[in-house]
Amino acid sequence: MVATTKPKTKLAVIQMNCIFCSIVRKTSPAHILWEDDQHMAFLSIFPNTPGFSVVIPKQHYGSYAFAQSDEVLAGLAIAAKKTAQQIDRAFPDVARTGMILEGYGVDHLHAKLFPMHGTGQDSTFKPLSSKVDKFFAAYEGYISSHDHVRADDAELAELAERIRSFA
């Protein structure tokens, strides 16, 4: 009788040309922050703030988060939460870490985590606003969460109706 062993991590789907899959296989370098059997978190090599991190499932999935199953998306969110809490503890000037599921850059499901430097240690809600005054008519390669001018209620009602029609 031949003994077989099951791999600890389900890597049934791996893309050989995917940099994130290479990081999972440990054939590409990464500054890993956290990992378990299903997920991994590492520092971005192109940070726009100290501690900018990426959280991925070890199994390859396409990068559009909302095309994934509830189970896959929930697993990624929980892994991102663990990593974000670790980041919050690591920086004395970070009370919160933001997350986006943009889906561009690498075609492998991932969450991007951004430590919000300058928010202190108290994570209770405080109203903050940005002085950025920009409206995006099209995606420009990044996401911004700042507010813009107050929208017209008639236009909002029309847009809401259009979106509801796709339910």
- pLDDT tens digits for range 35-94: 999 999 999 999 999 999 999 999 999 999 999 999 999 999 999 999 999 999 999 999
Catalytic residue among 110, 117, 146, 148: 110
Annotated catalytic residue 117: no
- DSSP, collapsed to helix, strand or coil, labels residue 22 as helix
Domain 19-119: which CATH number of 3.40.1410.10, 3.30.565.10, 3.30.70.20, 3.30.428.10? 3.30.428.10
DSSP class per residue in 83-101: HHHHHHHH-TTEEEEEEE-
What distance in Å separates the CA atoms of residue 154 and residue 35, rounded to the nearest whole number? 48
Of 69, 34, 37, residue with least CA distance to 55: 34
CA distances from 111 to 59, 66, 117 (A): 14, 12, 19
Tokens of 164: 């509801």
* pTM for this model (two decimals): 0.85
